[in-house]
Chain A
Amino acid sequence: MTDVMPDVGPVVDDQPIGIAMHGVSPERRRAGRWLVWLATLGLAAIVLAQILFVSGVTAFGFANWRPIVYAWLVWSVVIAAGQVIVRGERGQRALFILPAVLFTVAMVIFPTLSGFYIAFTDWNLSQLEGRHFNGLDNLRSLFQDAYFWNALGNMVYYVLAVLGQYTIAFGLALLLNADIHGRKFFRVAFLMPFMLSPVAVSWMIGKSIMEFRFGPAAQVARFLGWDSPSFFTTPMIARAAVMAMDGWVSIPFVMVLLLAGLQALPGEVMEAAKVDGASPWQAFWKIVFPLTLPVSVTALILRIIFELKLADIVITVTDGGPGGATDTISSFIFREYRERSNVGYGTMLAQFYFIIIIVFVTLLLSLAARVMKRYS
């Protein structure tokens, strides 16, 4: 991810100019270390006590794990304080980043760990006796699950659709960048779809405007000669309809990025192109496109990452149909959780998908880095 991101300006050297290092006395350092150790021990002790209580070994413990959250908070504060006590000025600097790190770690690590555990169980919420560890069974079913691979195949289409969104967005950005009146109005109007929740959009467009009988989109389609404009019965059209709705919401995002890229182009470059007598078409491909390539790559990668999570629209409008043609991984897993209470298997699907995403995004980033290098 960092590769495509622009550099973040020069990092100040470890020793900021102009500040004298405050000396930290050895006693203070020792006291600080003790404090951190004590807090860590305390946290470990509370967690251990609770584990023993829950597993029935001891009789003393808390009704739920909430106190552990408080203990984690206290521990975090002590760690932060310890940084300042032990390392003085440098500790103060660490204080900037510690809250975010501790927060993210706590919020991601624990669910991920418990997720991996759940993924290897046969947990179904209707069981009378509760979950059992079932080894690689879930993984084996996954490889035979036609629905999963079908949804994964659909994801390829959806990701490719991002290129279409990009093309339209580029066109719109060029329009907005032209010498026009009322640019502010058009900018606000074009940005509007981005503000709306996908759930509401699914309603407004998918269920209402694209309604077979009275929806305006169906009326227009009839007017244009399509006799039975049903948007969600043939696989390709259904997929295209979902893509259109998704595009409606996300094109403004790409457009705004590209517009900013266009506006940052130095005016003299364009002037020079004009003087050379290049046609607008040549000027675009020779000058504008290459110069905005970094923005394009950023926009595309961000959009693809978001596209991989596509769910709300599919869930609300088609529920994956017809015959799985519009299913995404997220909407399929959602059904597995929600309608079949298949927690163990669903979690395995989710974890497996996550690994695919990581590999895919990593490849994408290295590809992007190569493209950027070639052009610069």
Chain B
Amino acid sequence: MRRAKKSAGRAIIYVLLLFWTVISLFPIYWTVTTSFKVAVDVTQGHMIPWYDYTPKWLGWRSLGLSPDTIFTESTVRSEFLFRFQNSVILSVGAAVLGIAIGSLAAYGLTRFEYKFGPWRNKDISSFFLSQLILPPVVLAMPFLVLYKQVDLFDTRIGLILIYTLSVLPIIIWIMRDQFAAIPHELEQAAFIDGCSVWGAFLRIVLPIALPGMAAAFILSVIICWNEYFFAALLSSTSAKTLPVMVASQTGSQGINWWSMAALSTAAIAPLALIGIFMERYIVKGLTAGAVK
């Protein structure tokens, strides 16, 4: 009796788990399969390749990424690849810069007592973290004006700086937690061996904190990769990114679902891979500081 109840309970758990798996993965499945459809398949709501429709390369051909176009010259493909490259450079660049200055600040805040006028460590931390609440619209126009003035408009470095600003609070949050978990005795031993503050940090603390940094890095890359608002506003030719390309396909002539789906698939694929293989780090980054 009790056993039956227990296995019924387990069955319910698995049903719920599967239900939510479908909710989570169906849109991705839908997008990937739609990229292999043609108009009729879309409008008739076909779902399963080879079962109720025959996959076609139409969507991928429009990106120049289908088997028959991949080796020919394609202006669309080079455009796509250029933006892809920009997205990689921007998100990795911002993550690296953010990790560099964010880790230093986080280490300082966990180990030393600072005073900037009336400000103490707690206030400095709040200052950094409060940047999180700043909505992008507040900075959008001023940045546009400012960037025109300092000639950073439509430059990769300009967008990297803004992205760094937006991921910095998160990096500091994560890294503070990481450094706080490292026992101070390690550094003290190094000091006794004659290390300077920086020497101890670089040689002893940093290697231990590397997994945490990896988590912060991956999280930053995700955030920057998906950023749309600033990219749409502050780039035109040389710094444009993939999300802008995805969004700008909504033009006047309706939607080629298959091309749209192919583009979306290509844009989310790198992150989906990161999600599958780096899930551990993402969770580590997200939960930093939340659980004691």
Q: Do chains A and B touch in the complex (CB under 8 A)?
A: yes
Give the Cβ gap from B131 to chain A, nearest Cβ, in Å: 7
Contact A350 B112 (CB under 8 A): no
Contact A197 B108 (CB under 8 A): no
Q: Residue of A at shortest CB range from B242?
A: A197
Give the Cβ gap from A292 to chain B, nearest Cβ, in Å: 9
Give the residues from 204 to 263 in chain A that come closer than 8 angstroms, CB to CB, to chain B.
204-205, 207-209, 213-216, 219, 248, 252-253, 256-257, 259-261
User: Complex Cα distance A194/B264, Å?
Assistant: 15
Q: How large is the interface on B (under 10, 10 to 19, 20 to 34, 35 or more residues)?
A: 35 or more
Contact A89 B43 (CB under 8 A): no
Interface string of A308-331 (1 = CB under 8 A from B): 110110001000000000000110
User: Complex Cα distance A334/B42, Å?
Assistant: 32
Interface residue? A275 (CB, 8 A): no
Contact B279 A188 (CB under 8 A): yes
Interface string of B157-183 (1 = CB under 8 A from A): 000011011001000110011001100
Interface string of B136-154 (1 = CB under 8 A from A): 1111111101100111100
The stretch that binds A, out of B10-18, B72-80, B206-214, is B10-18
Among A97, A104, A114, A333, chain B packs the most CB atoms within 10 A around the CB of A97
Q: Residue of B at shortest CB range from A265?
A: B291
Interface string of B110-154 (1 = CB under 8 A from A): 111110100001101111111111111111111101100111100
Give the residues from 85 to 116 in chain B that come closer than 8 angstroms, CB to CB, to chain A.
100-102, 104-105, 107-114, 116
The stretch that binds A, out of B51-59, B61-69, B225-233, is B225-233
Interface residue? A57 (CB, 8 A): no
User: Complex Cα distance A14/B292, Å?
Assistant: 26
User: Complex Cα distance A225/B207, Å?
Assistant: 59
Give the residues from 326 to 376 in chain A that come closer than 8 angstroms, CB to CB, to chain B.
329-330, 333-334, 337, 343, 346-347, 350-351, 353-354, 357-358, 361
- Give the contacting residue for A351; candidates B13, B43, B138, B287; CB below 8 A: B138
Interface string of B175-217 (1 = CB under 8 A from A): 0110011001001100110001110010000000000000000
Interface string of B24-59 (1 = CB under 8 A from A): 111110110010000000111101000000000000
Contact B134 A354 (CB under 8 A): yes
- Give the contacting residue for B151; candidates A64, A114, A334; CB below 8 A: A64
Count, chain A residues at interface, CB 8 A: 109
Residues in B neighbouring A186, C-beta threshold 8 A? 17, 21
Partner-A contacts on B (CB < 8 A): 10, 13-14, 16-17, 20-21, 23-28, 30-31, 34, 42-45, 47, 100-102, 104-105, 107-114, 116, 121-122, 124-143, 145-146, 149-152, 161-162, 164-165, 168, 172-173, 176-177, 180-181, 184, 187-188, 191-192, 196-198, 201, 222, 225-226, 228-229, 243, 246-247, 250, 255, 257, 260-261, 264, 267-268, 271-272, 274-276, 279, 282-283, 286-287, 289-292
Q: Offer 20 A-B interface pairs, CB within 8 angstroms, sorted by A.
A: A1-B130, A2-B129, A16-B111, A18-B191, A18-B192, A66-B150, A93-B112, A94-B108, A103-B165, A107-B165, A110-B142, A111-B143, A115-B142, A175-B20, A190-B24, A196-B28, A260-B287, A260-B290, A299-B290, A347-B141
Known: A6-B289, A12-B113, A188-B275. 19 other contacts (CB 8 A): A8-B125, A11-B121, A19-B197, A100-B172, A107-B165, A108-B165, A114-B146, A115-B141, A115-B142, A180-B14, A190-B20, A203-B31, A216-B26, A257-B286, A311-B137, A311-B229, A330-B135, A350-B140, A353-B137
